[in-house]
A and B are shown apart, each in its own frame.
Chain A
């Protein structure tokens, strides 16, 4: 006779078996002491279980809920701040760093090898060897030859094409002043300066700005904006990389006219024509004409930027006279570079062809004015596919537009702050305060920030919480309907 299984006995002990099973179990238990003993153990276990589950579960105490909620909110806030940083930091694992270093070394080696001209050794079969000639000297093996030194990077110079209330290289900035690598140009309040870079690019500093020419090499031009704003007119050239570094933000030109503005709280990049790459610790993004981005508090927000000329609103920059700026802009409206005396050291300057429009961009490396005079049939053209700007950037317009954009930005920041206030009021149960604030927020015109949709959902959620707390079911359902919409 086989014993009853533990499962059968467990079910029998709970009277969960049907009549047939129960009769079978009783019949077996009557004659089986082992199964009786097991059944008794099961009854004890099930009895303890039933007794333990007898008291009802108390409600979660309010104080406990709030304490845990506060602790979790802190952790969630810290995590949301860390998430961008950790994502960026996670990219730089030791293995990836080693791979990048190896790749860089290989690329540098390949670049050096390609740029080094091949030694002009006579081929052995081309040398007539006389039988009585002394034996040719034996060349040492290639490994014994000293490695040729890497050619030092060729440092170029920039020049100032116009300046007002500006200083360069620790002295007053003057027109046609030559600037070496590492030089800084600083404009005072109400001042401005236009620089010409060695590749023909132009950089215009607005009032109260500071710019350093960090690198001026043939293959690489790097400007560092410490404060203020700089307008760039840059032709895209494959033979050099032009970047503007503004704090954590690195802007790489893709053939464009763009503006970089920096203050203590944000870096703003606006693109007038073409496109730029904007790299931040949070990632890289291409910004096209008519768009702008602002980097602040670890986030990159998109803004609208009107690429066309703006209305002639007065420049609102403190200490800047619109009439003064307009006056300084005037020379820039004339064809550039023609009437300006250029420094003799300028390495890549060339007179424009008489029949062509005023040449704005520098010629490719290797072509000089002497080349044109020697070969009159040679036509000098700007690089292929480089869009020529129809109209020069005006510093006055830029000041005005940047001021408008800053106001939009400040408005959005305040709007985001009010979202936090609403959430805080709802958190502490102050619905009498939270609901009117939420209503006012929802009735304000949106700023056009990319975050606007998320803020709206948060505000609606807080309103929903308050309605549910106050038992306003119909209004809560309406908010749910709004939240369910994408």
Chain B
């Protein structure tokens, strides 16, 4: 379980090279994209799409909607860039957009019935040798996603950052722009809500 608190390599910041250590390497591209340079936005997408994909996958799992969510995240980024002043890190902001887009998707999926005609995603992940284990993993992922969809957006956001993406409270504090102590107290309440939601869902699932 301690592995959950470790920052996965997937979400570690890019290793800074000599040039990139000084400033946000994406700042210039974001400013150019804000000013209407379409090529700059394309380059911004190409340099950040893998990170955005990992964040979205962790939040919503292997869903056929991942492609739409990736596009929606960047469209929201495009709109948000209008007010970008070059003061915050673009990758941090993009992660927050992806987390919120993913959580919104989980909530909307909870409100609408499951569509049995959903196509299998082309990115379902590697096949496991143990089908029983694979079924348990899928069941657990669905349980986590349903529990997240019942939580408030503030708590769910902090919980995802800490327990799914492995960020430390200090990093979350920068990402969500609030004090570290607020992040800690919000995280405690989020864990309580998550536990209660999982318990409730398990009881509902085991009921005849």
Total number of A residues with any Cβ neighbor in B under 8 Å: 54
Partner of B71, one of A57, A60, A68: A68
Q: Is B107 interfacial (CB-CB < 8 Å)?
A: no
**Which residues on the A side are within 8 Å of B71 (C-beta)?**
68, 71-72
**Which residues on the B side are within 8 Å of A210 (C-beta)?**
none
A67 to B3, CA, bound (A): 34
Q: Is B194 interfacial (CB-CB < 8 Å)?
A: yes
Which of B95-130 touch A at CB < 8 Å? Answer: 122-126, 128
- In the bound complex, do residue B45 and residue A72 qualify as a contact, i.e. CB atoms below 8 Å apart? yes
The interface-forming segment of B32-40, B83-91, B149-157, B174-182 is: B32-40
Shortest Cβ distance from residue A420 to the other chain B in the assembled complex, whole angstroms: 9
Most A CB contacts (10 A, CB to CB) among B3, B10, B38, B54 go to: B38
Q: Is A334 interfacial (CB-CB < 8 Å)?
A: no
Partner of A80, one of B17, B38, B75: B38
A83 to B198, CA, bound (A): 47
**Which residues on the A side are within 8 Å of B41 (C-beta)?**
72-73, 76
Whose C-beta in chain A lies nearest to the C-beta of B198? A45
Given the interface pairs A7-B188, A68-B49, A73-B42, the reply to whether A57 lies near B2 with Cβ below 8 Å is no
Produce 1/0 per residue, A291-305, CB < 8 A to B.
000000000000000
- Number of CB contacts from chain A to chain B under 8 A: 149
Q: Is A4 interfacial (CB-CB < 8 Å)?
A: no
**Which residues on the B side are within 8 Å of A73 (C-beta)?**
38, 41-42
**Which residues on the B side are within 8 Å of A76 (C-beta)?**
33, 38, 41-42, 78
Chain B, interface SS category? helix
Q: Is A16 interfacial (CB-CB < 8 Å)?
A: yes
Chain A, interface SS category? helix
Q: Is A53 interfacial (CB-CB < 8 Å)?
A: yes
Q: Is A75 interfacial (CB-CB < 8 Å)?
A: yes
Given the interface pairs A46-B1, A72-B42, A80-B37, the reply to whether A51 lies near B136 with Cβ below 8 Å is yes
Partner of A75, one of B78, B194, B202: B78
Q: Is A125 interfacial (CB-CB < 8 Å)?
A: no
Shortest Cβ distance from residue B151 to the other chain A in the assembled complex, whole angstroms: 12
- In the bound complex, do residue B46 and residue A79 qualify as a contact, i.e. CB atoms below 8 Å apart? no
Which of B135-193 touch A at CB < 8 Å? Answer: 136-137, 140-141, 143-145, 147, 163-164, 188, 191-192
**Which residues on the B side are within 8 Å of A79 (C-beta)?**
36, 38, 78
A79 to B78, CA, bound (A): 9
- In the bound complex, do residue B198 and residue A63 qualify as a contact, i.e. CB atoms below 8 Å apart? no
Q: Is A480 interfacial (CB-CB < 8 Å)?
A: yes
Whose C-beta in chain A lies nearest to the C-beta of B58? A57
Q: Is B70 interfacial (CB-CB < 8 Å)?
A: yes
Q: Is B207 interfacial (CB-CB < 8 Å)?
A: no
A67 to B71, CA, bound (A): 9
Shortest Cβ distance from residue A450 to the other chain B in the assembled complex, whole angstroms: 14
Shortest Cβ distance from residue A468 to the other chain B in the assembled complex, whole angstroms: 10
Instruction: Write 12 A-B pairs (CB below 8 A) sorted by A numbering.
Output: A10-B191, A10-B195, A41-B199, A45-B195, A48-B198, A54-B137, A60-B70, A60-B123, A76-B38, A76-B42, A79-B36, A461-B43
The 8 closest A-B pairs by CB, nearest first: A51-B140, A76-B38, A80-B36, A14-B1, A52-B141, A60-B53, A45-B198, A76-B41
B-side residues, CB < 8 A to A, are: 1-5, 10, 17, 19, 33, 36-39, 41-43, 45-46, 49-50, 53-54, 57-58, 61-62, 66-67, 70-71, 74-75, 78, 122-126, 128, 136-137, 140-141, 143-145, 147, 163-164, 188, 191-192, 194-196, 198-199, 202
With A45-B199, A58-B62 already in contact, 6 other A-B pairs whose C-beta atoms are closer than 8 Å: A7-B191, A16-B5, A55-B126, A55-B137, A71-B71, A465-B46
